Amino acid sequence: MDMRNYPAEPFRIKSVEVVKMINREEREEVLEKAGYNTFLIDSEDCYIDLLTDSGTNAMSDDQWAGLMKGDEAYAGSKNFKHLEKTVEDVFGFPYLIPTHQGRGAENILSRIAIKPGQYVPGNMYFTTTRYHQETNGGIFVDIIRDEAHDATLDIPFKGDIDLNKLENLINEKGAENIAYVCLAVTVNLAGGQPVSMANMKAVRELTEKHGIKVFYDCTRFAENAYFIKEQEEGYADKTIAEIVKEMFSYADGATMSGKKDGIVNMGGFLALRDEEMFSEARELVVVYEGMPSYGGMTGRDMEAFAIGLKESLQFEYIQHRVLQVRYLGERLKEAGVPIVEPIGGHAVFLDARRFCPHLDQEEFPAQALAANLYLESGVRSMERGIISAGRDVNTGENHKPKLETVRLTIPRRVYTYRHMDLVADSVIKLYEHKEDIKGLKFVYEPKQLRFFTARFEEI
Ligand code: PLI
């Protein structure tokens, strides 16, 4: 692979955190103690930590300086004003409810916008999002285009909503029985796949006819905007900021986990266009999060978040971000390792079905692969397959997602290309003796969001 096709880091390193690699025997002990669940491994025992890109970002010197400007007043913090203005500038939403992280915003939105028995169509599920929708009596319906469920199809904008699926659902159930459409940019569990501007616009036109609201999950909005600039006709000469503004002009509001494209370690929000909804959301934020001028964040968190949102719009930053992820994916592809294609914005997803064809889905191939990658090299990754999908709330049966994946998630501004090489070499080495990977079974299965704390042993 020609490194010259990849942009060098658009930053220099000012502070470092020393990491160390423990030996294989120690890693075996750690893995057994963690019940073969990478969520239960201590950070200190990981050499390269690709569990998630959530809250694991490196802040800029501007953001660190911003922390010193924290106004920790219980009410009316100036940092809230800064964040509120930034969200309006970037996304165009006038009303802001700050929350401790994305799921705090999902909780509030689900409570105010879903009546029990209503349907909530979305472009694939996300774990915490679907949990809050279902807990509030909503029925999640996956309306992403079929191709998104096929790991091998390399086509652009695999995160798009299938407009026929949406229209059929509206005709079948009636517009009054649809709470809202949840549109995620990008689609995490599909492999970080983006949604095209054309699709966002078409979803808006269709729902407007029926009086149905559209809320975006804007957790990885900047990555999505980069893909539009790179791949959608008519956007090459637009700035990331202009693209983001247009994307959100087709939405009634958004939930955000600042821990991703906000480039901070903590924070989130619910942003709204409608004053009445805002008023309802404000009544709930004081119950679940905190005063409406801080929600779940400190003043300094809000300041760093406001600065991070603006930084995420810088072309050099977002180009490096997306292409660094692509570099890792291309190295794996070149070696014949099966991955989800095309390579998404925040992570490379190993296709565990093809990586471990000797394991049945009920033997948890992705969970086993993640455990074995840690064993191989101290690289921590995350299962995104049958364990993450959980059980059907009515039948109790396991959801069996077509995509059975291990996510190598790249934190923002944290690792170098050399780190990506080390990860690629480890995965390639494991692929060469993949038959040694044994299936797993539960020894402890939590009832909710089981992937976080479940424990396993080898079959
Ligand atoms: O982790 P939170 O509560 O700040 O955000 C929840 C959340 C909402 N939407 C999407 C698309 C996410 O990816 C998301 C969190 N993702 C995590 C933690 C991840 O590891 O991908």
What is the DSSP track for 268-299? EEEEES-HHHHHHHHHHHHHHT--TTTTT--H
**Ligand 1 close to Cβ of residue 186 (< 6 A):** no
pLDDT > 80? residue 1 = no
pLDDT in tens, 258-316: 999 999 999 999 999 999 999 999 999 999 999 999 999 999 999 999 999 999 999 99
Pair 25, 156 in one domain: no
CA of 132 to the centre of ligand 1 (A): 13
- Residue 102, both tokens: 């994305």
pLDDT > 90? residue 365 = yes
| H or E stretch covering 212 | none
Pair 207, 238 in one domain: yes
**Ligand 1 close to Cβ of residue 128 (< 6 A):** yes
As a whole number of angstroms, the distance between CA 412 and CA 321 comes to 7
Domain stops at, among 311, 335, 352 = 311
Pair 272, 349 in one domain: no
- The C-alpha torsion from 429 through 431 and 437 to 443, rounded to 10°, is 90
Pair 155, 24 in one domain: no
Pair 28, 171 in one domain: no
pLDDT > 80? residue 55 = yes
Average pLDDT, the chain: 97
| Side chain identity at residue 442, one-letter code | F
Query: Can you give the residue range of the structural domain that contains 340?
Result: 3-53+314-458
| H or E stretch covering 140 | strand 139-142
**Ligand 1 close to Cβ of residue 257 (< 6 A):** yes
Pair 346, 387 in one domain: yes
- Residue 113, both tokens: 């916008």
DSSP state of 36: T
The answer to whether the Cα torsion of 110, 114, 120, 122 is positive or negative is negative
* Catalytic residue from among 384, 407, 412, 413: 384
Domain stops at, among 282, 311, 340 = 311
Q: How far is CA 149 from CA 89, 132, 152, 161, in A?
A: 35, 23, 9, 12
Pair 291, 393 in one domain: no
As a whole number of angstroms, the distance between CA 163 and CA 85 comes to 34
pLDDT in tens, 194-215: 999 999 999 999 999 999 999 9
Q: Which of 152, 148, 257, 261 is nearest to 196 (CA)?
A: 148
pLDDT in tens, 76-87: 999 999 999 999
- Residue 369, both tokens: 């692969």
Domain count within the chain: 2
As a whole number of angstroms, the distance between CA 323 and CA 6 comes to 7
Pair 84, 230 in one domain: yes
- pLDDT at residue 432, rounded to an integer: 97
CA of 257 to the centre of ligand 1 (A): 6
- pLDDT at residue 2, rounded to an integer: 84
Pair 45, 80 in one domain: no
- Residue 416, both tokens: 């170098």
Pair 303, 325 in one domain: no
**Ligand 1 close to Cβ of residue 56 (< 6 A):** no
